[in-house]
Each structure stands twice: as structure tokens, then as C-alpha cells.
Amino acid sequence: MALSGLEIYKILPRTNCKECGFPTCLAFAMQLAAKKVSLNKCPYVTAEGRSALESAAEPPIKLISIGRGDERVEVGNETVLFRHEEKFYHPTAIGFLLEDTASTEEIKRALGEIKKLDFERVGQRIKTDIVALSCKTKDASKFQALVKTVVENTNLQITLVADEAALIERGLEVSRERRPLLYAATGKNFKEMARLSKNYETPLVASAPTLEELETLVKKIKAEGVENIVLETGDKDAADKIWDLTQIRRLALKKAFKPFGYPTIVFTKSENPYQETSEAMTYLTKYASIVIMKGKMPGQILPILTARQNIFTDPQKPLQVESKIYEVGKVTDRSPVLITTNFSLTYYTIEAEVESSMVPSHILVCDSEGMSVLTAWAADKFTAESIAKTIEKFGIKDRVSHKNVIIPGYVSVLSGKLEEESGWNVTVGPKEAAGIPVFLKNLNK
């Protein structure tokens, strides 16, 4: 847990010698607490004090990477229980279970289905991240063949699932370059699993049915020299799982309980696809770092990816698009000019409706600090003056041969003043984006 300035001050030498560049040790401690200076600036801090300060500076939940390079998945390193307290940093990885009972053709088909679960929403790419490869048959050759097929046919990150270290090792032989997550060390096999994790430098899941047993297991795995751990509490109903996940997160953040300072993994249980979606969504919100599912229908997965995108954005910074002129379709100098704000959801809703109207148009986006039309207007961020300045700033007059702009129906009140400020003719558009296609088609009739 992060130390306060006063707690840090008590650890410093308190001689106020000023060598760190600050007038007092307290001033230095305050800057250290705010993470604005390095501890190295104080040459007199004792080895004991340094160790206490450095361990306090460690993240309460360790960041774990699965895979390598740009495609790697990073989970953990969260700092708050509730998104509004700050933000959540590393989006829950969404993945799918594939078993070695399936034929090679079936696996390739499944990977093809997973590849299609890649969508664009409000200007961002949202997609799934991982596949969990399960050795159901207990046949090492079949398991290795499954892993090989997956390695050769997808860039998704990999989790190897087997209860015997010997089986996991066969999978590792053909996937070590991908640095897979190993599932799972238990009370029975932790020594062999820890050996694999260290030898192949891969992260390892610690799985135990109760929190008490999980604490003991994590300590044993750490004693074997494994640092990159992911936590799991076995096969349980969703309510019990949520309880475990919440306790793990609370203990890690509020009590700085080191054995639980790791990300978590959950496998969904529901056979019904709709229930599975709601189960996965529940784990996503509280507080799973990796969710492995069975179903992979787009209708199941898109809501989960959408929810994840919303939850893992900064609540204090609305998603924004760049303020500029956008062209939709093959515009000419006679194309209409629509004005809107730079809140992503607003912009992409407008863009989609303009596109569906088949009327090529310019969209002039004003900087409203990421607020939607009505909110920005109420906050004085979308005014006649600011719109007039945007019209001038981006030189729309050089792109069109008319002097007409269309403003959203909800801010019709701005039309008179905007005409005065800008010298352009203002047409009031529809209040709802859904009205844009009909509006544009009838514009010049």
C-alpha cells in the first residue's frame, strides 16, 4: 500500500540537510509520496529505510504478462476497488476454452470463428485475447498436436491447461516462444509446476478451493522461486466466485496482503449461452483479470467486449475524437457541413447515420472537452462563439462553395447568435441522430 508523505518522512533521516534539493525532509517526503522525485536524491537514507520505501512502492497487484511483444496480454496492476476512485488500468482478458478431444479441422474452424470476434467501436478496436488449451484426453501427443495447431494458426495468447506437469511440458515444447500461462499449480503438483514455470520463464496459475489454501499455496510457490502468479479458486458457482474475487481484490488493495497481490483467472460454467454471457460480464465487473469462456457466438461476445471497453476507460476523460473536419463519402464543394462535438460516441453515431444516408457530407467537430452536445452546451463548451471559432480555424470555407452549416436540433437556440458570430447561414438539424438520413436526403429538395 502506498505510504503517505508523513509516513515516508518518519523513515527519512530528518536532518533537513537540503542535499536532495528540498528545504526540508518533509518537503522531500511529500514529493516522494506524490511520485514526483526519486528516492535516490537523498544520499542519507539507510538501507533499511530504502527497503521499506521500495517495498511500499511496489504495486499492490502485480502486473503479469502472458505472451511476448506487441500482442502480449498484460493483467493486474490495479490500484482501486471502484472505477470512480481513479480508473481500472488493464482490461480483463477474454478467452476461449479449446479441448484436445476436437479434431484439427474443428480447432481450425474454432480459431476462424474467434478471429472474427474483432470489432471496431467508437474508433477503437475491441477483440478477444487468449485461448485456453485443455488436455482432456490425458494423451500427451494429442495435447501437443492441439497446441501446435493453435500456435501455427493464431497470434492469440495461450494458456496450457492440464493437471500433470508432464502434460504441460509437452505443450510447452511447442509453445515456449509464446510464453504461455500455465494452468495450474495445486497443493499436489506445485513443485513440478513451479519448476516448469521457472525453466520456461512463464507465468503460473495457483489454484486452490479456499482462500486459506490459496494463501498457503502461493507462499509455497513463491518459496520455489516463482514470482509471476495468477490466482484461481477452483470450480464454483458464480456467487461463490464473486465472493472469492472480491475478497482477493479487497485484501490486496486494502490490507496490502501480498499472497493475494496477483491477477485472477476464472472459467465460466453456464451451458446456456445467454447465461454464460451474463456470468462472464459479472466476473468482468468483479474483479476477474482473465475470463475463459466456452461460447464464441458474436452475439455473446460483443456485449462483453463493449462492457469491457466502457469499464476500462478513464471515467474522468471521456473518449474523444480529434477536433477537425471529417469527410464522409466522396464529398464535393456542394456537400453539406454538419457540426457536432468531439465526444466519441456522439461523433461515431453521427458518422454512421451520415454514412447510411448516402449523402456525402463534411462533419465539423468542435472541441467540447469530450462532452456530448447537450452536456457541452449546458457547460458552456459548445457555444455560438466556440463554433464560430472552429468554423474559422479549420478553414471549411475553402472546402465548400456555400456558406451553410447544420447544427444539432438540441442546440437550435444557438442558431441566431451563430449566424451573427460566423456570418454563415445556420440550419437546425434533427434532435436525434436517427433523423439525419431523412434530413440530409430532403435538404435540397
CA–CA gap between residue 337 and residue 64 (Å, rounded): 48
The residue from 42, 132, 292, 350 that contacts ligand SF4 (CB under 6 A) is: 42
CB of 51 to ligand SF4, least distance (A): 16
Separation of alpha carbons 1 and 57, rounded Å:
8
Question: Among 422, 316, 283, 290, which residue's Cα sits nearest to residue 364?
Answer: 422
- Residue 74's closest CA among 82, 64, 61? 64
Q: Cβ of residue 367: shortest distance to ligand SF4, in angstroms?
A: 43
3-state secondary structure of 87: coil
Toward ligand SF4, which CB reaches closer, 31 or 282?
31
- Asked if 440 touches ligand SF4 (CB under 6 A), the answer is no
- The verdict on 17 binding ligand SF4 (CB under 6 A) reads yes
Instruction: Name the segment binding ligand SF4 (CB under 6 A); options: 11-19, 250-258, 381-389, 437-445.
Output: 11-19
Q: Site for ligand SF4 (CB under 6 A): which residue of 10, 13, 106, 432? A: 13
Q: Which of 18/402 has CB closer to ligand SF4? A: 18
Specify the amino acid at residue 420.
E
**CA proximity to 99, closest of 48, 167, 50:** 167
Q: How far is the CB of 29 from ligand SF4 (least distance, A)?
A: 7
CB closer to ligand SF4, 47 vs 239: 47
Q: How far apart are CA 76 and CA 79, in angstroms?
A: 9
Is residue 197 a contact partner of residue 228, using CB atoms and an 8 Å limit? yes
Q: Does residue number 15 form part of the binding site for ligand SF4 (CB under 6 A)?
A: yes
Question: CB under 6 A: which stretch of 16-24, 77-85, 93-101, 172-180 binds ligand SF4?
Answer: 16-24
Residues in contact with 276: Cβ distance below 8 Å, sequence separation at least 6, in sequence order: 268, 270, 293, 294, 295, 300
CB of 95 to ligand SF4, least distance (A): 47
- Amino acid, single-letter form, for residue 127: K
Touching ligand SF4, residues 185-214 (CB under 6 A): none
50 vs 236, beta carbon nearer ligand SF4: 50
Residue selected from 1, 16, 119, 323 as contacting ligand SF4 according to rule CB under 6 A: 16
Cα separation, 429 vs 445, in Å, equals 15
DSSP string, 100-130: TTS-HHHHHHHHHHHHT-EEEETTEEEE--E
Interface of this chain with ligand SF4, residues 47 to 106, rule: CB under 6 A: none
Q: Applying CB under 6 A, which of residues 10, 18, 72, 334 lies at the interface with ligand SF4?
A: 18
Residues lying near ligand SF4 in the complex (CB under 6 A): 12-13, 15-20, 22, 25, 28, 42, 44
